[in-house]
Structure 1
Amino acid sequence: MALKPLHDRVIVKRTAEEETTAGGIIIPDSAKEKPQGGEVLAAGPECKSLKAGDAVLFAKYAGTEFNSEGEELLIMREDDILGVFK
């Protein structure tokens, strides 16, 4: 990764968006919402409870989107993370 987060920031990659509902209905692109979950790719030195590889849930409008090596990523504060999946 070309970007190293500072302080209590984390870099998160969103999980893949669902293409169909549980009932098999295909969701059009215009109706899809961006997922609020993802995987931590890197954590700053002051992050106390997160590390690379953690699956997390974050606030709907949290973070700043950026492109790195063709991937859409988010950088956000550790406080924007709502929970960690076990």
Structure 2
Amino acid sequence: MATATASASSLKLKPIGDRVIVQRLGSAEKTKSGLYLPDSAQEKPQEGKVIAVGSGKTLKNGKVIPLSVKPGDKIIFGKYSGSEIKVDDKEYVFLNEDDILAIVT
């Protein structure tokens, strides 16, 4: 499934605190044997591109710790993590920074 990636400026959403908005990277549309899979049968990828980030995690003393990811980073996140949303026919996932397992370098 080829989709165009969004940018933070085109999304019109700004995450707050330690949350990030991620666009899942494409999944396989076709099996190795050549069968095409409908969207409902495709496994959702656990890899995505960070579209927007919140201001950071606020500690009890009021200090804000910036997030370790930035827009454009490619990340790996937990299979059942986050909340899925749909904006302008594009699907995104809201994640807490703690749901991010790794940054792909």
Pick the TM interval, shorter chain.
0.7 to 0.9
Match of 2:60 in 1: none
Secondary structure, counterpart of 2:98 in structure 1: helix
Match of 2:43 in 1: 33
Give the TM-score, by structure 1 length: 0.88
Structure-2 separation of matches of 1:53 and 1:68: 19
Structure-2 separation of matches of 1:60 and 1:7: 22
User: Using CA pairs below 8 Å that are at least 6 residues apart, which structure has the higher relative contact order?
Assistant: 1
Structure-2 separation of matches of 1:35 and 1:9: 19
Match of 1:56 in 2: 75
Give the AA of the match of 1:38: G
Contact 1:2–1:68 at 8 Å: present in 2 too? no
RMSD of the TM alignment (CA)?
A: 1.5
Give the AA of the match of 1:57: I
Instruction: Please tell me whether residue 13 in structure 1 is matched to residue 60 in structure 2.
Output: no
Structure with the greater alpha carbon radius of gyration: 2
Match of 2:55 among 15, 35, 45: 45
Structure-2 separation of matches of 1:3 and 1:13: 13
Match of 2:95 in 1: 76
Report how many residues are paired. Answer: 85
